[in-house]
Amino acid sequence: MAESASASQQNQPLQIDDITVIDDTKLKKAVTAAALGNAMEWFDFGVYGFVAYALGKVFFPDASPAVQTIAALGTFSVPFLVRPLGGVFFGVMGDRFGRQKVLSLTIIIMAISTFCIGLIPSYATIGLWAPILLLLCKLAQGFSVGGEYTGAAVFVAEYAPDRRRGFLGSWLDFGSIAGFVLGAGLVVLLQTILKEPTFLEWGWRVPFFVAGPLGLLGLYLRHAAEETPAFTQQLEKMEKEDKDAIKEKPGVSFREIFSKYRKALLISIGVVLVTNITYYMLLTYMPTYLSSSLGYTEEHGVLIIVVVMIGMLFVQPVVGFFSDKIGRKPFLRLGSIGLLLLAVPSYHFIGSDNTGLIFLGLLFIAIVLNCMTGVMASTLPALFPTRIRYSALASSFNVAIIVAGLTPTIAAWLVEETGNLMMPAYYLMVAAVIGIITSFYLPETANKPLRGDTPTASNRREAKALLKEAYENIEQTVADVDEEITAMEEQLEALKARRQRLVDRHPHME
């Protein structure tokens, strides 16, 4: 019954009213709410990476400096193991009850768990319970973050007009980088004002306490934002097609996701791997690499990275803007090839003990990272249809994140075990190969509706232009199908002629 109704709807001519026109005020609220929550997520990751040396001394005081660093980064990486669980849980919730409700829940959990890290007593005070409580807080963060980025990406993508999805989606990772800048800047400020003993005693806690007010602001913005038009339309469509289905909310079949959308899942995993391995290598592991492996002061290394990240803030929306003009694939491919070619030279520059060359090496990695982060949030949601978009994207994203999230720990371990300071560069080159391969299979999604959705426009005039384009695409597709039919008819005639020649050679066949 539902399938016949759906087929009947699809057979109706596409009209101007079928194109969704997005209210600009609602769009700005949606983008701001999603980006701020993402900024808070990465604020914590940035702070954690920049104070890892301090956390190692506070929570693992009996270990050697190298083991302290690896232990602190290991505590950072372990929560990535629970992110798939959070992704599945929040993904199913998001596809059943809506994106806005789930995003409000994830930011609450994230804010509370981050704030609590600042409250944990040191190892000297409560012994083994200190690292255990730190791990529990990080696990809670990992669970909530499992639904955070993917939910925010879906939220923005479903709100964004087709012709501006790249630009608007780029602000999501703008929020990520801004969170890093805020976290790093706060750490630098505290380290400058406080002496190291004071910073180790209580100064490191301050950045984590900032998560409280940030979380309240993010919750307010997300609660004020309305549900996405795409999800609302999906519910209305189901209500028209099947009254019983709507009572139980949309269902999600993971068997269907893994069997029917296997290619999209693999593409999503590839994009996430190359982007986030580069992300964590530059923005989480690099401060530790500069201080522990190269011997720079923490303040010196962090300051250089902060300057690079501020530059990334300006590049990020530019990449998103141009991806709406020339497509997403060129940027993913360019970023991956750039990473493959520039990883080794960049690390040679970083290890040169020359501030200018260090900055240049970091800048190379930052630019190729911008090429990928500038299009990721607009690319991934377009791979899946609305009814399973959150679940499928959260599943694939967080499976890839298990590997990407181990980057700081693996990189630190490789350097420690081999004594080779170029190991992080080789690690990035492996990620680059994954990105290059993925770019060949990635479908171009720029200026197209999300998979299975109707076109979305900024205004009525743009809607008319999109309708015209939709008609032209239909006409071209019909022409292509006609050519296929003609070719098949010619093949059929050739087969019939071949059959007849064989029959003519048999005395008892007609």
Q: Which of 1-15, 235-249, 338-352, 419-433 has the lowest mean pLDDT?
A: 1-15
The pTM of this model reads: 0.78
Looking at residue 412, its amino acid is: A
Name the β-bridge partners of 457: 21
* pLDDT tens figures, 389-422: 888 898 888 889 888 888 888 888 898 888 898 9
* pLDDT tens figures, 22-45: 777 888 888 888 888 788 777 876
Contacts of 469 (CB under 8 A, 6+ apart): none
CATH architecture of 22-458: Up-down Bundle (1.20)
Residue pair 294/351 in contact (Cβ under 8 Å)? The answer is yes
Q: Determine the pLDDT at residue 70.
A: 67
What's the rounded mean pLDDT across residues 245-268? 73
Residue pair 196/7 in contact (Cβ under 8 Å)? The answer is no
Q: Hey, how many other C-beta atoms are within 10 angstroms of the C-beta on 188?
A: 17
| pLDDT at position 305 over 80 | no
* pLDDT tens figures, 196-208: 788 888 888 898 8
Buried b (16+ CB within 10 A) or exposed e, 326-351: ebbbbbbbbbbbbbbebbeebbebbb
Long-range contacts of 419-424 (CB under 8 A, 24+ apart): 421/293, 421/294, 421/347, 421/351, 422/344, 422/347, 422/348, 424/281, 424/285, 424/289, 424/347
- Name the band, by pLDDT with cuts 50, 70 and 90, for residue 7: very low
More confident residue, 304 or 414: 414
Q: What percent of the chain has pLDDT over 70?
A: 87
Select from 309, 305, 254 the least CA-distant residue to 91.
254
Q: How far out from the chain centre does Cα 175 lie?
A: 12
| pLDDT at position 140 over 50 | yes
Residue pair 176/317 in contact (Cβ under 8 Å)? The answer is no
Nearest-10 crossing angle of helices 329-350, 355-379? 160
Question: Domain boundaries in the chain?
Answer: 22-458, 461-510
* pLDDT tens figures, 69-121: 666 666 666 777 788 888 888 888 888 888 888 888 888 888 888 888 889 88
Give the integer Cα–Cα distance in Å for 99 and 226.
9
DSSP assignment letter at 456: E
